[in-house]
Structure 1
């Protein structure tokens, strides 16, 4: 996955390997993460989602099949923009 940011005559490309997405999926499935997040944010309480690794794993694995698809392509009047591509 790539995140491309165009901002004021500069272009940043941030590659996100799939193993980082798998690690992020593992983290958001943990209850301690949501407890920690609720403790850090004083004004907002986030409900613990009913996610488990068996739900997230096939979803992240199927993303590899759609490599090259543009998920987000946003540009404003100034020419700044963000592109998220698998």
Structure 2
């Protein structure tokens, strides 16, 4: 599980957990043909042109990414502290 911790100026702590199955679902969504067709519709592009699906976005790529994230549990990805005592941490 990825944990995003945010500390605001007034020392409010927010922890947002992101389970790995949510990452798998997002990967499936981003690699689907229907999603890119809808994106194309939202951006008002010409519908006669075929839908472009990036070659590097497929389900296997996302599965490998999530499995490699699972293998490195406890790794601190981001640790940022601003001048006004705001903090952001992203930890696997």
CA root-mean-square deviation: 1.6
Q: What residue in structure 1 maps to residue 18 of structure 2?
A: 16
Q: What residue in structure 1 maps to residue 30 of structure 2?
A: 28
Structure 1 unmatched runs, 5+: none
Looking at structure 1, the residues matched to 61 and 88 of structure 2 have their Cα atoms a distance apart, in angstroms, of 29
TM-score between the two structures when normalised by the length of structure 2: 0.77
Q: What residue in structure 2 maps to residue 85 of structure 1?
A: 91
Look up the SS of the partner of 2:84 in the other structure.
coil
TM-score between the two structures when normalised by the length of structure 1: 0.82
Q: What residue in structure 2 maps to residue 4 of structure 1?
A: 5
Larger Rg: 2
Structure 2 unmatched runs, 5+: 45-51
How many residue pairs get matched? Answer: 82
Looking at structure 2, the residues matched to 34 and 13 of structure 1 have their Cα atoms a distance apart, in angstroms, of 31
The structure 1 residue matched to 2:53, chosen from 48, 55, 59, is 48
Distance 1:5 1:41, change over 3 A: farther
The structure 2 residue matched to 1:72, chosen from 67, 78, 90, is 78
